[in-house]
Amino acid sequence: MRLSAWLLLAPLLPGIINRVKARVAGRRGPPVLQLYCDLARLWRKGVVVSTLASPGFVAGPAVAWVAVLAAALLVPILPLGAALSFRGDVILMVYLLALARFCTAWAAMETGSAFEGMGAAREVSYAVLAEAALITAALALSVRSGTISMGSMLAPPAWTGAALLAAGLFTLLLAENCRVPFDDPTTHLELTMVHEVMVLDHSGPLFAVVLHGAGMKLLLFSVLLVEAVLPLGELSQAAAAGALVGGVLAVAAAVGMVESLLARYAFKRVPLLLTTAFLFCLFALLLAWKGGLA
């Protein structure tokens, strides 16, 4: 059931974000289920592969998709819990997300395209600060809960650092999922693209795997954000499930509002914004540590 939830609900959040953006702009916009139709259409198409590409071009998106799915299965869905859970699973989740990024960049460079190599370079340069913020957020939750198991780390009791952690994780969500102001998923200008430029040569089922993996990663970070800052563990099962669904929808709506009201930042401002996310998580860690000493 948990596996089905991650697989089936992943394409829903991008549709909600696009609908929010359309409403803010005064347009009707695409249907919420548009990505499901796009995935079905892509699966029926053929694959075009560059003559320079090795089998890594095909293996990259596949391994990245499996890595994101495995990371998602480690995240508990209250009140169902996680499909996989053990002591130290949060460390494996961070490594799996890093593996997915590596495989995406690897497949991009397999094409021999200068543009895709440029996008891969930008992606990994942003990852230096983004992964530092993610690890710091995990440390804050670990110090707060006294464990390194995600089932106990998430849904903590209400604490003073929750607002700081929420700000850091939301900024991290935008960066990791290549949303505005870090990247524009709808742009077609190669010189300003980051993630999208890395998948320009993907087509058919390969591109469907990339799009579904991106939706699954967005859902993963949305669930992480909600469970990390809301005291769901203090609620009944029905109330926790309702709060989780409402929180994820609120996160999707917030992403849509951000993309409607903000423009994409210049490249030189992105490291500053990622550093701000890291500092938010660092201050939350200090509050969790001092709270534990008090």
- Can you give the residue range of the structural domain that contains 179? 2-293
**98 band by pLDDT with thresholds 50, 70 and 90:** very high
Residue 81 burial (C-beta neighbours within 10 Å; 0-12, 13-18, 19+): exposed
Closest CA to 277 of 144, 133, 174, 118: 133
Quote the CA–CA distance of 183 and 95 in Å, as a whole number: 23
128-137, 191-200, 223-232: least confident range = 191-200
Determine the pLDDT at residue 83.
86
Amino acid at 64: A
Determine the pLDDT at residue 2.
84
Quote the CA–CA distance of 112 and 106 in Å, as a whole number: 11
Q: pLDDT tens digits for 136-162?
A: 999 999 999 889 999 889 877 878 889
Q: pLDDT tens digits for 224-283?
A: 999 999 988 888 888 999 999 999 999 999 999 999 999 888 888 899 999 999 999 999
Quote the CA–CA distance of 290 and 38 in Å, as a whole number: 49
Residue of higher predicted confidence among 219 and 192:
219
Determine the pLDDT at residue 191.
64
* Mean pLDDT confidence for 200-223: 96
pLDDT at 100 over 60: yes
Quote the CA–CA distance of 258 and 280 in Å, as a whole number: 19
Distant-in-sequence, close-in-space partners of 71: CB < 8 Å, separation ≥ 6: 92, 93, 96, 97, 100, 220
pLDDT at 6 over 60: yes
Alpha helices in the chain (DSSP H): 2-9, 12-24, 34-43, 56-74, 89-110, 114-145, 150-153, 162-176, 204-229, 237-261, 270-293
Torsion of CA 222, 292, 151, 12, to 10 degrees: -10
Q: pLDDT tens digits for 32-76?
A: 999 999 999 999 999 988 888 889 999 999 999 999 999 999 999
Percent of the chain's residues with pLDDT above 90: 69
Determine the pLDDT at residue 293.
43
When divided into structural domains, the chain yields a total of 1
Determine the pLDDT at residue 192.
67
